[in-house]
Each structure stands twice: as structure tokens, then as C-alpha cells.
Amino acid sequence: MNNKIWIALGILFLVTLGFEFTVLADYDSHWWNAIPAFYAIWGLAGCIVIIYVAKFISKKFLNRDIDYYDN
């Protein structure tokens, strides 16, 4: 993927991080707000967990041939 897009996404992330530390007045409504960049970590970790867990379960137990019910 184009480097420019990565740079744009990086800047966007820094902007959100900047907001988090400066402008946000109500940034203590939940316990996790004490962790910096919590939502980015949640998105990152959540996505990894979803992909690996879903992949594991489907490969191990659920995947079948496309005409499984016809046979």
C-alpha cells in the first residue's frame, strides 16, 4: 500500500492522541480512560484475537465441503 496513505493514517492517529491528552474534558467517564490510546489498543488487540480465534474454531470444527448437506 502507498506510503502516503500510511503517513496520513499515522497523522490521524497522532491527532486523536493529541486530542486525548489535551482537549478532552470528560476523559474520565470510564476506568479505561486512564490508559493512553486505550481504544487503539482495544482495536488492535481485539482484531488480532477475533481473526485468530475465529480462524482456529472454523478450521478445527466448522469448515466443511460446500456440498456437505447434499451428500
Partner 1 sequence: MITEFLTIPGVLILLGCFLLPLLPERVRSSVFLIFPVAALAFIMMRPDGYTITGAIGNYDLILFQMDELSRVFGLIFAITGLTAGIYAWHIKDLSQQVAALGYMGGALGVTFAGDLFTLIVYWELMAVTSTMLIWARGTRESDRAGMRYLIYHVLGGGLLFAGILWHFTQTGSLAVQTLEYEFTVANVLMLLGVGVNAAFIPLHTWLSDAYPKATITGTIFMAAFTTKTAVYVLIRLFPGWEILIWAGLAMTLYGIFYAVVCKDIREILSYHIISQVGYMVVAIGVGTDMALNGSAAHAYNNLLYKGLMFMAGGAVMYAAGTSRLAELGGLGKKMKWVFALYVVGGFSISGLPLFAGFISKGLIIDGAGYAGYEGVMLLLLLAGVGTFLSVGLKLPYFTWVYDAGNKIDLKPIPVNMYIAMGMSAFLCIFYGVFPNALYTFLPHEMDYNPYTIYHFVEIMQISLGTFVVFWYLREKLKGEIVMVLDLDWFYRKAAPATRTVFVNKVDRFYDLVEEGILATASWSAKVFKNPMTWLNPFTDKKNQASTYSPGMEVVMSFIMICFLAIAIFYFI
Please give the helix or strand (H or E) that residue 10 lies within, else none. helix 3-21
What is the C-alpha to C-alpha distance for residues 53 and 33, in angstroms, rounded to an integer? 27
Q: Does 11 bind partner 1 (CB under 8 A)?
A: no
The C-alpha atoms of residue 8 and residue 45 are separated, in whole angstroms, by: 22
Selected binder of partner 1 within 3, 4, 26, 34 (CB under 8 A): 26
Q: Which of 2, 3, 63, 71 binds partner 1 (CB under 8 A)?
A: 63
- Min CB(5)–partner 1 separation in Å: 10
Q: Between residues 3 and 61, which has the closer beta carbon with respect to partner 1?
A: 61
